[in-house]
């Protein structure tokens, strides 16, 4: 096995063990784990009005098309992920 293939197999095995470990530790700490869909557009939907956010692709501040409020991209995404089970 070459180096690249070995690194890839090690990283795959490591990520496969992450989910069960996180679930186990969260259960011990009495914390809720939320698994969000891989393609959920958390940073493209405004948290308050569910309007589309526009701006530069990696901009820190984005503007809502519906209510014209400027929001922080990371904060907005964290609110959407926090409330994901309510949205879906």
Q: H/E element holding 64?
A: strand 61-64
Separation between Cα atoms, residue 6 and residue 18, nearest integer Å = 19
* pLDDT tens, position by position, 35-71: 888 888 888 899 988 899 988 777 789 999 999 999 9
End-to-end CA distance of the chain: give it in Å, rounded.
Answer: 43
Separation between Cα atoms, residue 64 and residue 44, nearest integer Å = 9
Q: Let me know: does 53 contact 62? Beta carbons within 8 Å.
A: yes
How would residue 82 be classed by pLDDT, with cut points 50, 70 and 90? Answer: confident
- Percentage of the chain with pLDDT > 90? 30
């Amino acid at each position: 096995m070459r180096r690249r293939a070995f690194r890839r197999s090690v990283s795959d095995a490591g990520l496969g063990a992450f989910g069960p470990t996180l679930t186990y530790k969260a259960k011990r700490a009495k914390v809720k784990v939320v698994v969000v869909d891989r393609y959920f557009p958390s940073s493209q939907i405004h948290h308050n009005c569910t309007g589309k956010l526009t701006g530069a692709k990696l901009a820190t501040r984005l503007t809502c098309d519906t209510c014209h409020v400027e929001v922080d991209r990371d904060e907005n995404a964290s609110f959407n992920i926090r409330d994901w089970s309510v949205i879906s």
